[in-house]
Structure 1
């Protein structure tokens, strides 16, 4: 029974998302309008409709004008609330911000701004996706309200964003206006880091290469302090300013950075489990970047020449995130 319900639910969600893709295409900035807005009575609204029907039947049977008048008044209130709920909802524009790349063991942060024309002030919006939601009261004096929603962790790769359900109950809470919006921004998820030893290969070939765990050092331009002069120190490092003051021979102590340029290869850490191997590579590229080591990157299908710096790190992590992924983006069709 449970399997049948899950299969039916999965089929219904698939068809609904397919219909939404045609009706409400993905956009990074969406103004609510007649095309992308849905409106129905809330649970309180359905209760009010039941009361109206009951009063109308009661007033008709007993020919009581006061009861009929109450049913007409309540009906007018419902219609007026319907109109104002729609007008309030469609005065807003939702702008999605780009996703910050994350690792596969961390939540994805969805950031957006809700802009208003201020025809109706106040109110509250609810954003939800993947069984997570956030309620955001709107500032009556601000034209734009920032909203953040934490999505559950995604698997490694480049993903389409899920559809975000946006709803409000403005106007006595009798009607619920909602929409399903989807950002065009992609979600980039890196493999998390798994600590391991690091072997750098001096040349990127399958033969005649020399793995090395130690790296040669070279002088950097970072001055760490002053120390006593040693005979092996070069003269151009001597602090002649201190010599002139009669403080003796002192040497400027510069920090050392790794000067070796080597290669990281996926074949060296491949242990049967691809995802585990990619997590090991993720740790290695992050560690070497922190140590400011120049290194090349070889995944077999893709190679990156030895470099260093933040741009090089992001490029390597991107290659790890999208390794083995097809050109078509994976799309998660879980509950919204």
Structure 2
């Protein structure tokens, strides 16, 4: 949909202002020199109405018309002052989000607050040049913090610098829009996208002399099953026998058979395709509770399991020859 001339002019003006906003560490405070204010479409209509009333009062020398025009003009000036003051002094204290896979949306949480004695109603946040549906708003309590959430699309793996954040308000009458931009010096880690077309695990990727089946052992408790003739007495679940009067046996599994290697050299395709295949294998191994290691060019992570190991593997894949990708 083509933009109207006033929208193109506004975006060009905002792009010029954004180039003057440096990246800074948090927290950041909205100062007086960083707040911009302009009438909204309703504000322009209100101004035209006041001018028409004043013109009519001049034409007919009507004192009541002058009084109404000046009263409405005063209301507009007070509304402009209150709109500007509603945004002044707000702090962006924290800005954080969890790592996501490329091609999905990251949810960025903004912690907004202020130290004033009165609430700050109708504060909204959005990315510059985004549609109205992509914004979030809240009423900031007095001397407290509110949390806003914004969805940020991701395209490439690696570190993604957050784009500028626009804060705005039209409180109290919607006649003026006050806004500012904050550019937090924060980067979000974006994992690689997982390949959905290639097979999960080539047989060559399993540890030597092992497979991915489930073998009975003595290392970790797995489940309970009914007693069979010849089962060892020390495997019987005696506490449950007192309740159910039906013997059950504790079954154990060895986890050595679950260890596998995700090997870059055993895969085919270009580097990005191999990274996506490795990502899928890491996610599947983590979902099944296996222990896995990762062999990449110049990097080798020993077999392990758990959330920390999954994050380490995905982070290594995300940053493999991947420069930072600034968003704005």
Tell whether the structures are fold-level matches, with TM greater than 0.5.
yes
Alignment map for 1:133-282 (pairs within 5 Å): 133-138=134-139, 143-195=144-196, 196-199=199-202, 201=205, 214=212, 217=215, 218-222=217-221, 224-225=223-224, 227-228=226-227, 237=235, 251-259=249-257, 261-272=259-270, 274-282=271-279
Aligned to 1:207: none
3-state SS of the aligned residue for 2:48? helix
> Which residue of the other structure, out of 20, 23, 26, is the alignment partner of 1:28?
26
**TM-score normalised over the length of structure 2:** 0.78
> Which residue of the other structure, out of 295, 298, 317, is the alignment partner of 1:320?
317
- Decide whether aligned partners of structure 1 residues 214 and 170 sit closer, same or farther in structure 2, where only a CA change above 3 A counts: closer
3-state SS of the aligned residue for 1:68? helix
Structure 2 distance, partners of 1:174, 1:13, is: 20
Residue by residue, what CA displacement relative to the aligned partner does 1:167-202 show, whole Å, maximum 9, x if unpaired? 111122121111122333322221232352313547
- Structure 1 unaligned segments of length 5 or more: list them: 204-209
Residue 223 (structure 1) shift: 5.0
- Structure 2 unaligned segments of length 5 or more: list them: none
Aligned to 2:327: 332
Q: CA RMSD in A?
A: 3.8
3-state SS of the aligned residue for 1:312? helix
CA contact (8 A) 1:106 1:152 kept: yes
Aligned to 2:84: 86
3-state SS of the aligned residue for 1:28? coil
CA contact (8 A) 2:87 2:120 kept: no
3-state SS of the aligned residue for 1:19? coil
CA contact (8 A) 1:32 1:92 kept: yes
Structure 2 distance, partners of 1:190, 1:278, is: 10
Structure 1 distance, partners of 2:77, 2:96, is: 39
CA contact (8 A) 1:33 1:90 kept: yes
Aligned to 1:302: 299
Structure 2 distance, partners of 1:106, 1:282, is: 15
Residue by residue, what CA displacement relative to the aligned partner does 1:67-92 show, whole Å, maximum 9, x if unpaired? 33333323322222222222222143
Residue by residue, what CA displacement relative to the aligned partner does 1:267-326 show, whole Å, maximum 9, x if unpaired? 322313x33322211111122223333322122132222222221110000111222212
**What count of residue pairs does the alignment treat as equivalent?**
314
Aligned to 1:311: 308
**TM-score normalised over the length of structure 1:** 0.76
